[in-house]
């Protein structure tokens, strides 16, 4: 049983309140209160020591990343950040670590405009759960279920950078010195694509953030939309650092490792000119990597034939292995 | 450093968004979106195995209680339950335990009208974080900072029942058989005072839920309101089971143990008749236990003189001891 089956089997039920526009199963839930000018997007994510970060991770990085993964979910809905709640489980009070954690947390909160409005602190194994709230105009949020055959598939930024950072830190990869700082920064302090998500409103037909890997996350769009996709691996946006490691790594880390927090989204052909119009205003590139097709499932090709990655993506209750 | 100092030192900053009506430091935060007919109350609480519940606790009780402690925070604001998010950290997938957890969770969700709208499942030490959202008419939420000298202090229901259940299960207390089921039920499946909270809108000047014990939680009202209080211990609502154990326990479990999830609230003298009017419609008794006074601090008396409990309340980062 994987974590998505678990959620579907045990925790998916129809909502009864009219305020609930979208419940379990997207990057964030959507609530529209009576009379409100905006819809509320709400998401929650947990980071656990030893699972999501090393026991040696600096407090700054843990605070930053715990918020970043939630902001990334708001970004994938096209929402504007509003506020967040923090539940912090600590084995003991280490003031120096806590000061770093707070600084990392608030550095990102200030950069994206999120107010800390509540939380809980308890004693236990180190873990951070954040719930983030954002706003989006009613009916405009980017969802997973809007992709249609003929739409183009895009990703923002670069893929596989977090994988490079992880392998480098684990001593399983050597990289030229000039690339090392950049890939570790992408792993530890990903920049959520909040401006890109908002710019895609009215343009993208579906969107998701790449937290579990492109194959798994695009798979969620395909399943929710009832469509398939065909990607050309030669179009994957890979950095010079990745190119340097490509003979060792091949495509898989860019496809299945996850932790990149880029956006994967689909755009109907008639809106591609509009996409080109907004792309020039964004900080990261938007890359056309393939097309939505009728049917189901994802096919990958590299110009020489079909390609199958070794595994599908990060999954907390899949014992098949971990990278 | 206790958990409240920790929050104040590290995580309390003024909010910048106009939507934030009330931030860190009450039972729930309050957000009012532009145009919305209702204000949103948002709260989050975490339960950890080995801290908040025993490793042997049935899934049903863990699911029920994890939601109940959050609903109790909505109750303390007078809010109407709307929706919740669940972050569940599991060491492994135990389908039987999970089915029980789900049943306990949804039993309470259905009873109070909460939709599950999102969440996260990760692998790690067993822990549950829930974020609950409710609605309340703008400007009417029950807060901690409204108590004034001359107001009466009340509590709902019975105090110390969870303590009796805890001591009974730990083998540190014997109780007549006819009382055992009731006190264990109060510990494992507290009924949040959601109807009482809503009925107190327009009547109570301040309110809080008793999760950390009456002394600690009333202390939060006193600090936030800048007032003191004087309580008559002979007025504490204690059950027949508590009376049976009183020679062993004295007043302390009712004052400092916590986990009762009753409401403590204050009422201005001119609204006491209105309180009497609503009290007859509620399922639990509302008990006058003392008065708000000018100054600071809480004084307790039992008719024979001042009384001081052995410790102040449950606190996660206070190493002074645990009950």
pLDDT at B322: 33
Nearest-Cα distance to chain A for B231, in Å, is 29
Arithmetic mean of pLDDT over chain B: 93
d(CA A75, CA A66): 15
- CATH match of B3-136 with 3.30.1330.10: yes
Nearest-Cα distance to chain B for A120, in Å, is 6
Q: Which one of A46, A66, A104 makes the best mutation probe of the B interface by having the most chain B beta carbons within 10 Å?
A: A46
Residue-wise pLDDT for B177-191, tens only, equals: 999 999 999 999 999
Measured between CB atoms, which of B28, B48, B115 is closest to A122?
Answer: B48
Q: How many CB pairs lie under 8 A apart between chains A and B?
A: 234
d(CA A101, CA B56): 33
Distances (CA, A) of A15 to A12, A20, B113: 9, 7, 10
Predicted ipTM > 0.95: no
The torsion angles phi and psi of A271, rounded to 5 degrees, stand at: -100, 5
Average pLDDT for B12-28: 91
Average pLDDT for B149-175: 95
Distances (CA, A) of A270 to A78, A146, A205, A285, B284: 20, 15, 11, 20, 62
Q: In which residue are the tokens 């990057």 written?
A: A27
Provide the CATH topology of domain A152-307. Answer: Phosphoribosyl-aminoimidazole Synthetase; Chain A, domain 2 (3.90.650)
Tokens (6 digits) for B31: 């957000």
Instruction: Report which of A312, A302, A320, A208 is spatially closest to residue A262, judged by C-alpha positions.
Output: A208
Q: Cβ neighbours of residue A66 under 8 Å, at least 6 residues apart? A: A45, A47, A105, A128, A130
Q: Give the pairing of strands B80-90 and B127-136.
A: antiparallel
d(CA B161, CA B309): 17
pLDDT at A4: 78
Distances (CA, A) of B3 to A116, B24, B262: 17, 13, 21
Q: Flag whether pLDDT at B318 surpasses 60.
A: no
Tokens (6 digits) for B75: 């109750």
Q: Flag whether pLDDT at B78 surpasses 60.
A: yes
Q: In which residue are the tokens 């014997």 written?
A: B174
- Residue A47, helix vs strand vs coil: strand
Instruction: Report which of A98, A88, A100, A87 is spatially closest to residue A131, judged by C-alpha positions.
Output: A87
- What's the 3-state SS for B228-288? EEEEEHHHCCCCHHHHHHHHHHCCHHHHHHCCCCCEEEEECHHHHHHHHHHHCCCCCCEEE
d(CA B239, CA A317): 45
Average pLDDT for B244-271: 95
CA dihedral A269, A274, A275, A276 (to 10 degrees): 110
A42–B117 CB contact, under 8 Å: yes
pLDDT at B4: 78
Q: Give the pairing of strands A306-307 and A297-301.
A: antiparallel
Q: Which one of B122, B134, B138 makes the best mutation probe of the A interface by having the most chain A beta carbons within 10 Å?
A: B122
pLDDT at B314: 61
Q: Flag whether pLDDT at B321 surpasses 60.
A: no
- Residue A213, helix vs strand vs coil: coil
Instruction: Report which of B106, B87, B107 is spatially closest to residue B44, judged by C-alpha positions.
Output: B87
Nearest-Cα distance to chain B for A244, in Å, is 33
Q: Do domains A3-136 and A152-307 have the same CATH topology?
A: no
Q: Where along chain A do its domains lie?
A: 3-136, 152-307
pLDDT beneath 70: ranges in chain A: 311-323
The torsion angles phi and psi of A255, rounded to 5 degrees, stand at: -95, -35
pLDDT at B303: 87
pLDDT at B179: 94
């Amino acid at each position: 049983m994987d974590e998505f089956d678990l959620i579907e089997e045990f925790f998916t039920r129809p909502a009864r309140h009219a305020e609930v526009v979208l419940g379990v199963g997207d990057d964030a839930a959507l609530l529209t209160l009576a009379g409100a000018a905006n819809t509320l997007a709400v998401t929650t994510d947990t980071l656990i020591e030893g699972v999501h970060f090393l026991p040696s991770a600096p407090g700054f990085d843990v605070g930053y990343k715990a918020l970043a993964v939630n902001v990334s979910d708001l970004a994938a809905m096209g929402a504007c950040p509003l506020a967040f709640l923090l539940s912090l489980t600590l084995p003991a009070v280490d003031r120096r670590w806590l000061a770093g954690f707070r600084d990392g947390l608030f550095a990102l909160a200030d950069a994206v405009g999120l107010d800390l409005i509540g939380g809980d602190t308890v004693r236990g194994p180190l873990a951070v759960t954040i719930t983030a709230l954002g706003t989006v105009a009613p009916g405009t949020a980017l969802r997973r279920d809007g992709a249609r055959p003929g739409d183009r598939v895009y990703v923002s930024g670069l893929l596989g950078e977090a994988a490079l950072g992880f392998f480098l830190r684990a001593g399983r990869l050597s990289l030229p010195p000039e690339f090392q700082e950049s890939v570790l920064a992408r792993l530890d302090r990903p920049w959520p694509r909040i401006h890109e998500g908002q710019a895609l409103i009215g343009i993208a037909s579906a969107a998701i953030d790449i937290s579990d890997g492109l194959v798994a996350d695009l798979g969620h769009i395909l399943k929710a939309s009832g469509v398939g996709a065909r990607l050309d691996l030669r179009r994957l946006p890979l950095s010079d650092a990745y190119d340097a490691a490509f003979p060792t790594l091949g495509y898989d880390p860019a496809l299945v490792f996850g932790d990149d927090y880029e956006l994967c989204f689909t755009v109907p052909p008639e809106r591609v000119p509009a996409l080109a119009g907004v792309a020039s205003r964004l900080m990261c590139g938007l890359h056309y990597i393939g097309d939505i097709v009728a049917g189901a499932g994802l096919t990958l090709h590299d110009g020489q034939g079909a390609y199958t990655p070794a595994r599908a993506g990060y999954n907390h209750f899949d014992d098949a292995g971990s990278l």
